[in-house]
Amino acid sequence: MLWQPINLTEVCPANTQLTACSNFGYVYLSLLVHLFGDSEDRRIQQKLHIQEETFEKEEYDFIVVGAGAAGCVIANRLSAVKHWKVLLLEAGGEQPDVTLVPGLSTSLIGSSIDWSYKTEPNGKSCLARREQRCGWPRGKVMGGSSSINSMVYIRGNRLDYDGWAALGNEGWSYEEVLPYFRKSEDNLDLEGLNCKYHGVGGEQPVSRYLYIDKPNIIMTQAFNQGGLPILDYNGPEQVGAMPAQAVTKDGIRVSTNKAFIQPIRYKRKNLTVKVKAEVFGILINDDNVAYGVNYLKNGKVYTAFAKKEVIVSAGTINSPKLLMLSGIGPKEHLLELNITVKQDLPVGENLQDHVTFNGLIVALPNQTATLIAQDEILDEIKCYANMKVKRGPMSADGPANNIAFIKTEPDLPAPDVQFHIGHLYLDDYVREPQIADELMIVPTPYYDTLLVRAMNLVPKSRGKLLLNPADPYGKPLLYANYLDDPTDVIPILKAVKFAISLENTTAFISNGARYDRTPLAGCTDYEWGTDEYFLCLARLYTSATHHQAGTCKMGPHWDPKAVVDPKLRVYGVPGLRVIDASIMPLVVRGNTNAPSIMIGEKGVAMVLEYWLNKSHG
């Protein structure tokens, strides 16, 4: 019998510490609890007999809000200065061990370690989703989204950072940010030999997956036979294809929590980490200087004071939300919510994300499909759990291992489309296509169908984030505004034609792979393969790629949309910086995890330079 899903909301105890329970995560809870346990941090706490944190005198040199891709880096670097006291606050809990299994990444979506955000309808996209809202998973856990994402390590293109610098952001050109990419990287593959572009010996492991299945090989060969060279997309050129570089080592996920915080958390006495501590306000005095935060933990409100700086690294959604709750944001919006305005800034604007769609389906024949019987999947999970160096299907993230970049016009200066390969169980998709984000999720290595998604890397549409008038402290209103600019679909349609041409490659033909030409519900009035059909899919089956950026835009003082300056200081509020993906003026051409780590490195370097020079001056 093939894999039969179990809805974890029906079997997961309400008080369980394992946070892989979700509406759409389908795994066997009891097996995972037995095999993977709860959390490495909690086991260390028990071994060292660490008690609950005290709250007597909460005064620190620095307070870092958010333990995500940037926040973990910042807390690590600041606490390396032994005479500084650093507080790292994370709204989520400890990182459960189940997050370490690459093959279970999709099972984390919708779980209690996911903020489970959804976009607001705009009438132009996400039309086949429930209430016309696309899902935006974001990590609510130590490590943030680096603990629940697909682990791909992509830096973006040289032109992205040179473009930031050209906008007036001094110090952010490609040559200037490259050292910060290398600083934290520990490249475990051949790319590590190229010391110009890669680092070795940093905290963040980067490696290719130890397991690559046949469909991945087919897609890599097809891209190559379609004209794309095999190359290092984090090297000098980006147009091409390659098995993914990922934040993994020995077959497990290495989040920024595991890379930057766990090795030092119980060794550095000057670093305090508090989980399930949600910051809801930045303290700002009459001189408009930030001097601390208010946060909620265990149902009680606490105050922590910062002698030097408050650094907000809560991510593209929660950083602007926190600023606005603290009186920093668009004046009219804040006044509507009776929030005292501390600084009138365009917080929440400039929201960007790469956009694509589901529906370009590659059907795999039985001898190529990786879907196997239920008992075989359970055996693979058990086998993986017992390995010292994790190998086999569960050590990889299925078809997300396949990455390709193209230019849809030859004269473009850089790629404008990235191919992201997804997976699904075809029968379920055909049965209920209207919930295409909420498919039966089996472990990612097991599937009989590929989704070829062409992402627009340079979207022109801009969205915004607003506080929710019904509950300003709750989930904000997220206006992604996908496909508002009608030209955003043009690169996608051109890339789809390239993708379809791969059906003529030897890789497809010799392995019996083919595109399923059955029109999906809602688009049956159009002929499969036409621009009209794929435009219909783009509007109905819009797919977010979770590369949100830009809501606390970095820019020079003359930029009317800038929230932070090139040193990431919030305009008009001394003692406050934002250091995460929200500062991107333009979203990079690629996934945002690696750039967020770099932003953390470069941002904290500027903090260190300022305060160390000040103390020595």
Inter-residue contact 403 to 244 (CB < 8 Å):
yes
Token digits of residue 177: 């940010």
Instruction: Show the domain range for 256.
Output: 8-616
Tell whether 437 is covered by a domain.
yes
Give the model confidence (pLDDT) of 164-199 as tens digits. 999 999 999 999 999 999 999 999 999 998 999 999
Q: How confident is the model at residue 100 (pLDDT cuts 50, 70, 90)?
A: very high
What's the pLDDT band for 221 if we cut at 50, 70, 90?
Answer: very high
Spell out the alpha helix ranges (H) of 283-420. Answer: 315-325, 331-336, 374-386
Cβ contacts of 476 within 8 Å, gap of 6 or more: 317, 320, 321, 348, 465, 466, 467, 468
Q: Is the pLDDT of residue 394 over 50?
A: yes
Task: Return the pLDDT at 476.
Answer: 98
> How, if at all, do strands 300-312 and 290-297 pair?
antiparallel
Question: pLDDT at residue 124 above 70?
Answer: yes
The pLDDT of residue 49: 81
pLDDT at 46 over 90: no
- Whether 130 shows a pLDDT value over 70: the answer reads yes
Q: Are 465 and 115 in contact (CB under 8 A)?
A: no
Measured over the CA atoms of residue 446, residue 447, residue 448 and residue 449, the dihedral's sign is: negative
Reported as a pLDDT band with limits 50, 70 and 90, residue 22 is very low
d(CA 419, CA 26): 26
Q: In 3D, which of 519, 487, 511, 484 has the Cα closest to residue 360?
A: 519
Establish whether 362 is an annotated binding residue.
no
Length of the chain: 617
Instruction: Choose among 554, 49, 582: nearest CA to 315.
Output: 582
Q: What single DSSP character describes residue 264?
A: T
Cα 34 to Cα 24: distance, rounded to the nearest angstrom:
21
State the CATH number of the domain containing residue 184: 3.50.50.60
Partners of residue 577 on adjacent β-strands: 311, 569
What distance in Å separates the CA atoms of residue 252 and residue 101, rounded to the nearest whole number?
A: 6
> Is 141 annotated as contributing to ligand binding?
yes
In a domain, 307, yes or no: yes
The SS3 of residue 311 is strand
557 is catalytic: no
Q: 588-603 burial, b for 16+ CB within 10 Å, e for fewer?
A: bbbbbbbbbbbbbbbb
CA 300 from chain center: how many Å?
30
Asked if residue 208 is part of any domain, the answer here is: yes
Residue 11 has pLDDT above 60, yes or no: no
Query: Which residue type, as a one-letter code, is found at position 73?
Result: V
pLDDT classification of 321: cutoffs 50, 70, 90: very high
Tell me whether residue 561 is in a domain. Answer: yes
Q: Residue 245 burial (CB < 10 Å; 0-12/13-18/19+)? A: buried
User: Percent of the chain scored above 90 by pLDDT?
Assistant: 77
The whole-angstrom separation of Cα 123 and Cα 303 is 43
CB-CB contact of 543 with 418 (8 Å): no
Catalytic residue among 420, 423, 547, 557: 547
Query: Residue range 218-235: average pLDDT?
Result: 97
Tell me the C-alpha distance between 134 and 432, whole Å.
Answer: 16
Q: What is the mean pLDDT of residues 390-397?
A: 92
DSSP 325: H
**11/293: higher pLDDT:** 293
CA 472 to chain centre: 24
Residue 3 in any domain: the answer is no
The residue-averaged pLDDT of 548-559 equals 98
Judge whether 94 and 170 are in contact, CB under 8 Å.
no
421-479, pLDDT tens digit by residue? 988 755 544 444 444 444 444 678 888 889 999 999 999 999 999 999 999 999 999 99
pLDDT recorded at residue 444: 81
Question: 206: annotated binding-site residue?
Answer: no
Contact 253, 247 (CB under 8 A): yes
Q: Is 152 annotated as a binding residue?
A: yes
What average pLDDT does the structure give for the chain?
90
What letter would DSSP give residue 458?
A: S
For the segment 19-33, the average pLDDT, to the nearest whole number, is 45
Q: Backbone phi, then psi, for 290, in 5-degree steps?
A: -75, 130
**What distance, in Å, lies between the first and last C-alpha atoms of the chain?**
72
Beta pairing, strands 271-274 & 86-89: parallel
Provide CB contacts within 8 A for 17, sequence distance 6+. 38, 39, 42, 93, 96
Burial of 413 per CB tally in 10 Å (0-12, 13-18, 19+): exposed
Please tell me the distance from the alpha carbon of residue 342 to that of residue 329, in angstroms, as a whole number: 8
Angstrom distances, CA of residue 127 to CA of 151, 351, 406? 28, 20, 28
- The helix or strand, by DSSP H or E, that contains position 60, with its residue range, turns out to be strand 59-65
C-alpha 507, offset from chain centre = 31
Residues 197-221: what's their mean pLDDT? 95
Cα–Cα distance for residue pair 249/204, rounded to 1 Å = 9
Most confident of 34-48, 49-63, 481-495, 602-616: 481-495
- Give me the phi and psi of 412, to 5 degrees please: -70, 145
What single DSSP character describes residue 7? -
Q: What is the mean pLDDT of residues 270-291?
A: 98
Q: Is residue 312 part of a domain?
A: yes
| Contact (CB, 8 A) for 397 and 423 | no
| Strand 402-406 relative to strand 240-243, pairing | antiparallel
* Pairing between β-strand 248-249 and β-strand 245-246 as defined by DSSP bridges: unpaired
Q: Give the pair of three-digit tokens for residue 410.
A: 């030859």
Q: How many structural domains is the chain composed of?
A: 1
The whole-number pLDDT of residue 369 equals 87
Q: Whose CA is closest to 352, among 535, 582, 540, 541? A: 582
Residue 88 pairs with which residues in a beta bridge? 64, 273
Alpha helices in 421-488 (DSSP H): 426-431
Matching residue, tokens 């404008």:
416
| Domain presence at residue 391 | yes
Phi, psi of 401 (to 5 degrees): -70, -15
Residue at 1 is within a domain:
no
CA distance 135 to 125: 12
∠ CA 142-146-149, rounded to 5°? 125
